[in-house]
Structure 1
Amino acid sequence: MGGAVTGAGLAALALRYAAGTARADRSWPVQVESRLRNLGEVDEVSILPVVERLTRDGGELVGEPGLSYLVRAGGTRLLFDVGLSGGRDRSALVRNAGHLDVDLRDLDAVVISHRHADHVGGVGAMRRHTFAFAGEPLEPAGVPAYVPTDMHHDRARVVPTTGPRVVAPGVAVLPPLPRMLFWLGAVAEQALLVNVRGFGLVLISGCGHPPIERMLGVAELVLDVPIRAVVGGLHLPVHPVGTPLLPQAILGSPHPPWQPIGEADVAHVLDEITARGPRVVALSGHDSTPWTMNEFGRRLGDRYRTLRVGEELLISAARSRSAEGAG
C-alpha cells in the first residue's frame, strides 16, 4: 500500500514537473516590451556579502546556506535578499551586519531574487509570501521592496516586478523568469543589474534557476551594454555527498531525481558565461559545492572569486578586486 502511494505521488510530481517545464519553455524567449534606455551609470559598485555559507577568516562572522548582499552603487544602498534565518535571536543577517558595521536601518531599497527560504528569511516567511527582515523593522517605513512574485510586507512598499525596471541611477532589475523544479515546483527569479561606467554590466544572481543563460540573454535584450561580471548564486551543487549541500542538490534541482545536477551542467554554465568575455565571475557557496568552485577557478583563473561574508567585491573601470569590507 505504502509503495503504491509513493509511486502515485512520484507520478503526480513527474506530471506536474513536465507540465511546468513546458510552460516555462513556452515563455522563452521573453518578449521584452521596452528596453532600458535611461538606466544611467555608476562609477563603482560594491557588493558586500552579509549572509553566505562561507566567511572570511575570523570567528566573529557566521555562515549559513543562504544569501544576502549589501549593494552600494552611486549613492544607492540596497539589500539583495535577506538570507535564511529570519528570527532576531538567531539571525546571521543581524549578527554579521553588526560585526561589519552595516546599518540595516539605512537602506534605499530591498530586492528579493525569488521566494525560496534561503533568500526570504526562512521557511515560514516563504510560506507566508513575505520576507523576514531579521527581526529588524525597515526604517523608514515604506522602503521599496522589488519582488518577483506575489508577496507582501508589513512595512515595506512592495513593488512587483513585471518587466525590466530602473530602481536607481545605474541599477535595474530584470523581469522575473520562470523555472520548474521537480520537488519545489515553479519558481520565478529576477536578477539585479548594475551599469558601471567604462566597465560594463554587473549581473547579480540569487540562484540562477531560470537558468543563467536566460538571465544573460534577457540582459542583452534590454541593454546594448556588454556583461562583464556575473556575481552570486548559480545552484550548481555537484558531487554534494559529504558536503552541507545535499538538500540543495535534491530539493532545488531543475532535473528529475534520476538526473542529478552534474559536471556537464557546470561546463554548460561556464561556456555560457565565458562566451560573454567576463572580467569578473564571483560564485556563491550557498548553493555550489567545493568541486564546482574549484572548476570555476580552473576555467576562469584570476577572473574568479569565491564570495564570503565580510569580503567586499569592488568593481569599477579601474579595478575589480576583493577586500575585507565594512558597511
Structure 2
Amino acid sequence: MIALQVLFYVILAMILLIIIFLLVKLLQLKSGKKRTAEKMDNIPVKKIPSLGTVDKLTVIPLVDYYTDNEELRTEAGVSYLIEVNDRRILMDTGLNKNREHPSPLLHNLHALGYSEKDIDLIFISHLHLDHVGGKKEEKNASFSISQGPVDLPKIPVYAPVPLKPSAWNPGPEVHVIEEPTRLDRGIASIGIIPRYLFLLGETLEHSLAVNVAGKGIVIIVGCGHQGIENILERTGSLFDEPIYGLIGGLHFPVNGGRMNIGPLNLQHIVASDDPPWKGLDEKKVEQTIIAIKNKGIKKIALSAHDSSDWSLDRFQNAFQDSYLPLKVGKKIII
C-alpha cells in the first residue's frame, strides 16, 4: 500500500513538472516571438544592385538522408557542394552523429573525386547540430568538417551568428552576416530571418541565392526554419529577377521524422514556432505547396533530412516534372 502511494506521488510530481515546464515554454514563446519580430523589423532590407549572374549552377549533396550510391554514406544532416563561377561553395557541414574521422561529409567528398582544398568558401545556414558537424559544435558555437585533421585553406566562412572553426579545421576566417549581402558575382545571402521555436528558442538562419543567367534566382535553404513564406517574400524584395528554383530543407517531419525516441518524433516537436499540439501538420504542407506554386517556381528539390517520406511524396506529386530528387552524390544542375 505504501509503495502504491509513493508511486502515485512520483507520478503526480512528474505531471506537475511537465505542466510547469510547458507553462514556462509558453511564456518564453510569447516573449520570444515578440523579440524576433522586433529584430526582423530592424534588419535593413534593400534591393541588391548589380548582383550579376552565373552561367550554370550545380548542387552536389554531400550529406543528406538518402542516396542511390552504396559507396556513399547518409545521415539526417546537410552539406552541399555548390559549383558556380569556377568556384566551389561548401554549404553546411552535416551532423557526423558518431563523431567519426573521416566524417560522412569528408568520406563522400573524397569518394566523389573532390578534396577539401577544392573548397573556396563555406556558407553556414544556421547553428544547429545537423548543419555544423554535431552537438558539441552547436554547444561551442563552432563547425567541423570531421573529427580528425582537415587541412582547409584560409577561406571565408559566412555565418548568421558568431562561430569559430573546430580545432580540426582551424584555417577558415568567419564573417557574420545579418543583412542581405552580395558574396560574389551572382551569389548572395538573403540575410537572417529570425524565428523563435517552441523548444529550440531563437533561431537565426539565412539562405543562399544564386542568379542563373536566363532563368532567375535559385534559393538554396538549410532547414527552412525561417518559414517558406518569409523566405519567398524576402527573396522577392531583394531581386528583380523571378525565383526559378528552391533547393534544400523545409522542415516538414509530418507523419514521420528522422530523429525519433520511441514513438516521439523529435523533429516534429522542435520544428515549430507553435506548441507541439498546434505545430506542423498536413495542412501546413499543402499551404506551402500552394505558396510555392503561386510564385511560379520551375524547379524544386526537397531535402529528406528534415522532411518525412509523406512530405516528399506530396511535393513530388504536386510538382511532377518540376520536382528534382535530392540524394547524396546526385548532381542537381540548373
Of residues 173, 177, 186, the one that matches 1:161 is: 177
CA RMSD of aligned residues (A): 1.7
Q: How does 1:18-29 map to 2 (within 5 A)?
A: 18-28=30-40
Inter-CA distance 65–59: structure 2 relative to 1 (3 Å threshold): same
- Alignment correspondent of 1:281: 300
TM-score, reference length from structure 1: 0.91
- Alignment correspondent of 1:301: 320
The aligned amino acid for 2:292 is: I
The aligned amino acid for 2:160 is: P
Of residues 152, 163, 167, the one that matches 1:139 is: 152
Aligned equivalents of 1:190, 1:152: Cα separation in 2 = 17
CA contact (8 A) 2:205 2:226 kept: yes
Q: Secondary structure at the match of 1:24?
A: helix
Of residues 49, 58, 71, the one that matches 2:82 is: 71
Q: Secondary structure at the match of 2:32?
A: helix
Deviation of residue 244 (structure 1)?
A: 5.0
Deviation of residue 89 (structure 1)?
A: 2.2
Q: How does 1:1-327 map to 2 (within 5 A)?
A: 1-28=13-40, 31-56=43-68, 58-85=69-96, 87-89=99-101, 91-134=103-146, 135-140=148-153, 142-153=154-165, 154-240=170-256, 246-315=265-334
Query: Where is the helix percentage greater, Structure 1 or Structure 2?
Result: 2
CA-to-aligned-CA distance 1:149-195 (integer Å, 9 cap, x gap) = 12122421100002111112111111111111111111000000000
CA-to-aligned-CA distance 1:248-268 (integer Å, 9 cap, x gap) = 122223321212311111111
Runs of 5+ consecutive residues of structure 2 not aligned to the other structure:
1-12
Larger Rg: 2
The aligned amino acid for 2:70 is: G
Deviation of residue 14 (structure 1)?
A: 1.1
Runs of 5+ consecutive residues of structure 1 not aligned to the other structure:
316-327
Aligned equivalents of 2:226, 2:31: Cα separation in 1 = 16
Deviation of residue 27 (structure 1)?
A: 4.2
Query: How high is the sequence identity, in percent, across the aligned residues?
Result: 33
Deviates most, 46-55 or 248-257: 248-257
CA contact (8 A) 1:174 1:193 kept: yes
CA contact (8 A) 2:43 2:179 kept: no
Inter-CA distance 147–138: structure 2 relative to 1 (3 Å threshold): farther
The aligned amino acid for 2:78 is: L
Aligned equivalents of 2:28, 2:162: Cα separation in 1 = 21
TM-score, reference length from structure 2: 0.89
